[in-house]
Structure 1
Amino acid sequence: MSNPPLRLSVLDQSVARAGRPQDESIRDTLALAQRCEEWGYERFWVSEHHGSATIVGSAPEVLMAAIAARTRRIRIGSAGVMLPHYSPYKVAEQFRVLDALAPGRIDLGVGRAPGSDHRTSLLLNPDPRAAAGFPQQVLELQAWVSGAELPADHPGHGIPALPQSATAPQLWMLGSSGYGAQLAAHYGLPYAFAYFITEGEGADQALDLYRSNFKPGLLQQPQAAVCVWALAADTEEQAWRLFASRERTRVDRNIGRLGPLLPPQQAVREYSGSEQAYVAQLRERALVGTAAQVKDKLEALAQRLQVQELVVITWTWDPAAQARSYELLAAQLRL
């Protein structure tokens, strides 16, 4: 029997673009979500970052509500809510409301990372030990979003997260290390690995941990997705020219220099010897090219990692070039 077709989804972070207003990035995300639904993508996820000079998507639950009002079919999700900052009960209420707006279409992806620097993280939650309670938070959140009862000795016993309905948000565990993989396996949750953060490092090990330790819980069988950075253009030359913006961001980040995405013509600078070695490795691993080339790379990666769904993130300075990349990939994979 042939393998099932590869499913593609989208992760958009509302990236800041040099010379463009930051609020424009939020509206670009809304427009992209509508187009991605038209092109047949499985789901559209948005991220949570705080105080970032590069990413201005700070409130995924608010952005998801706007996307829900503008779409009809595509699943909408957070990738993710940084749970240690918040009360699980409040997050459950927010996502129950989202599920009322888009019944059966809401993904609640959660992560343990701060999505910010240490000082900003403390502004969100002054308790520096908050992340240690993450496993318990996940259990509470799952009970409240699904309508299950908490134990009799729990302070939340008998208190529901409203509104109740016939459907519920789908909880996902997000991660870029073995920690999230093992927690997702222990709780029987779907798991998404952030391949784009690590440039693939640790992906095989995390997915192996998830599958080998999986216990039935929310799911009866493991369900894994991998979030990758990819860029397609009408020509290979154009794709690599557009890639210069992300390349510069990655190189600068390694030396602690953060800022908005630069247009390709301004992104080129002289690199040191160590930076040149990093760039060579970055380009070798990059999923960049024509739609046919990127399709082959995506399918090879999915086959190697044994996943049926890839979540694609694409940064370009020009929003039209970003949308064109998703359009080309959708057509190439016949979504």
Structure 2
Amino acid sequence: MSRPFRLSVLDQSIAVSGRPQDQSIRNTVSLARHCEALGYERFWVSEHHNHPTIVGTAPEIVMAAIAATTERIRIGSAGIMLPHYSPFKVAEVFRVLEALAPGRIDMGLGRAPGSDGRTAFALNPAANERPEHFPADVRDLIAWVNNQPLVERHPFGSVKAFPQSPTSPEVWILGSSDYGAQVAALFGLPYCYAWFFSDGAGGERAIDLYKRSYRPSARHPEPHSALCVWALAAETTEKAQYHFTSRALSRINRDKNILGPLLPPDEAGKAPLADFERAKMEQFRKDSFVGTGPEVAARITELKERVGVDEMAVVTWTHDEQVRRDSYTELAKAYGFAP
């Protein structure tokens, strides 16, 4: 199969039963090297807090580690939850990252807390006030990270973000609602919709809104959109569905606010479930991008063309780390860009 578009990876450093959580962080760094060798375009890492399942809490640190051990692949945050932080500090962090990997840094920004309200308050006692300032914070951050002047009479107009360099990070807005699409369009930024987070609900509307309201910017004269989907590929459909059991149970438990490490497929398959939960799990199996490499690639391509986006990204959870690595290999082979 010819390579029809750029395909990227989102990794969330998932906790799994029977494995120390710190290993999940090291596995993320190792996976980035693996995906670079396979020919993936970008490798993004997420930010969550106080989450027993998703233990990636500091994407900027993981990005630095990945930058030190890769050469080509773009490295990004998916995303920095901006309401937790000072835009100036975020600009400084990403100027340093740009110095470590010139021309390879994506600064993905989100408005959601990536946590519960109490945790958001622990991160930043003023966090409840920040979401309403999100557009202004994005505006200032774009200026600082690109060494451009802030708006006239800005109280911090004389403050610069160092180090300076000839290149600057590519700024993305990430989201799972119309709001992020509107912010991305307002500032002329690329936009990625978290299709996996909402099972696609509202995704086509958000992408359409983004395109219709897009205001061209110097760096991005045309809108540039992407979707991130959950997928799992294996040598056989049966094997893929077997390992998907861990993720399916985790999703059902999430809906009940039961969070914890990913269980092995055998254990997950024996979990006591109500009839309606078993029906929901079977529906997950039908709706999810799970199967052989060609089967999953075909579904990803169909969705890309149907929604009309420029790029796709994939996130994969498995209990067995080698199965996860193999999934990205199978998908790269299906698209014809694995070496």
Interval of TM-score (by shorter of Structure 1 and Structure 2):
over 0.9
Counterpart residue identity of residue 186, structure 2: H
Match of 1:57? 56
* Partner of residue 293, structure 2: 291
Listed one character per residue, the Cα deviations across residues 177-215 of structure 1 (whole Å, up to 9, x for unaligned) are: 100001111111100000010011111100000001101
Moved over 6 A (4+): none
Q: 1:242 maps to which residue?
A: 243
Alignment of 1:151-190 (within 5 A): 151-190=151-190
The 5 Å alignment of 1:215-234 reads 215-217=215-217, 218-234=219-235
Query: 1:74 is aligned with what amino acid?
Result: I
Question: Match for residue 147 of structure 1?
Answer: 147
**TM-score normalised by structure 1 residue count:** 0.97
Shift of 1:4: 7.8
Separation (CA, whole Å) in 2 of partners of 1:306 and 1:16: 34
> Is the 8 Å Cα contact of residues 4 and 308 (structure 1) preserved in structure 2?
no
Letter in 1 for 2:118: R
> Is 1:276–2:275 an aligned residue pair?
no
8 Å CA contact retained: 2:3, 2:335: no
Alignment partners' CA distance in 2, 1:331 and 1:308: 20
Give the structure-2-normalised TM-score.
0.96
What is the rounded CA distance, in whole Å, between the counterparts of 1:303 and 1:314 in structure 2? 21
Alignment correspondent of 2:41: 42
Partner of 2:320: 318
Question: Which residue among 277, 291, 300 is the counterpart of 2:302?
Answer: 300
**Corresponding residue SS for 2:273:** coil
Percent sequence identity over matched residues? 53
The 1-side partners of 2:3 and 2:151 are apart by 40
Distance across 1 between alignment mates of 2:109 and 2:101:
19
Give RMSD over aligned pairs.
1.2
Distance 2:234 2:151 in 1: 53
Tell me the CA shift for residue 125 of structure 1. Answer: 1.1
Q: Which residue of structure 2 aligns with residue 261 of structure 1?
A: 262
Q: Which residue pairs with 1:134 in the alignment?
A: 134
AA matched with 2:311: E
Structure 2 residue aligned with 1:116: 115
Instruction: Tell me the secondary structure at the aligned position of residue 15 of structure 1.
Output: coil
Match of 2:191 in 1: 191
**Mean CA deviation greater in 314-323 or 128-137:** 128-137
Preserved CA contact (<8 Å) 2:3 2:336: no
SS in 2 for 1:231: strand
1:112-149, CA deviations, whole angstroms, 9 ceiling, x for partnerless residues? 00001111110011122221111110000000011110
Q: Aligned equivalents of 1:241 and 1:36: distance in 2?
A: 23
1:296-319 superposed Cα distances (whole Å, 9 cap, x missing partner): 111111111112311100000111
Alignment length (residue pairs):
333
Question: Which deviates the most, 278-287 or 92-101?
Answer: 278-287
Give the secondary structure class of the aligned counterpart of 2:115. Answer: coil
CA distance in 2, matches of 1:129, 1:209: 26
- Tell me the distance in 2 between the aligned counterparts of 1:277 and 1:173: 35
The one-letter code matched in structure 2 to 1:257 is I
CA distance in 2, matches of 1:325, 1:283: 16
Gaps of 5+ in 2: none
Note if contact 1:5-1:308 (Cα within 8 Å) is conserved in structure 2.
Answer: no
Letter in 1 for 2:185: A
Amino acid at match of 1:297: R
How far apart in 1 are the matches of 2:47 and 2:72? 23
Q: Which amino acid aligns with 1:326?
A: Y
What corresponds to 2:100 in structure 1?
101
Q: Once the 2 structures are TM-superposed, how far is the Cα of residue 279 of structure 1 from its aligned partner?
A: 2.1
Q: Report SS of the residue matched to 2:319.
A: coil
